[in-house]
Amino acid sequence: MSADPGEDDATRRTKAHLISTTLPSAARVADYLYGGQTNFESDRRAARALAAVAPVVADIAPAIRAFQRRVLRFLVTEAGIRQFVDIGTGLPLVGSTHEVAQSLVPECRIVYVDNDPMVLIHARALMKSAPGGSVGYVDADVRDSA
């Protein structure tokens, strides 16, 4: 499955220029909270400020990952689901939807949806499908109902 069908290289380059390292990004703040390496000082500052007013934030990221793994394991092994749409993907981390699902059944098909240009750049570069399965990426915003 190709990423962003019909999107040309000029459009991709334009979107890449929208990435700001001085303003925090929700995806990069989450990446920092998950222990990832794809974040900047502005993101780390925002995450620390959030944790200062809501210390439970530090416990949320690992709980979400554990829940996601349990749900995927159930859906793939017990319910027989083989196709997934991951909306608001965030930056790729170990244990992403396709990694978990395809580790159980390599033929699983996953489509990631996000509107953050940095997320899409990383998704194209890092997310590879298991043989027999499929991984795709869509540049879209869930808030855009048109």
Between CA 86 and CA 137 the distance in angstroms is 9
Question: What was the pLDDT predicted at 97?
Answer: 93
Between CA 7 and CA 119 the distance in angstroms is 16
What's the distance, CA 135 to chain centroid? 12
Question: What was the pLDDT predicted at 38?
Answer: 85
Which tens digits make up the pLDDT trace of 96-138? Answer: 899 999 999 999 999 999 888 888 888 877 788 999 999 998 8
**CB contact at 8 A, 112 and 89:** yes
Which tens digits make up the pLDDT trace of 53-67? Answer: 999 998 998 899 899
Between CA 143 and CA 49 the distance in angstroms is 26
In Å, the largest CA–CA distance within the chain is: 46
Cα separation values, 42 from 23, 28, 31, 46, 79, Å = 6, 9, 13, 6, 42
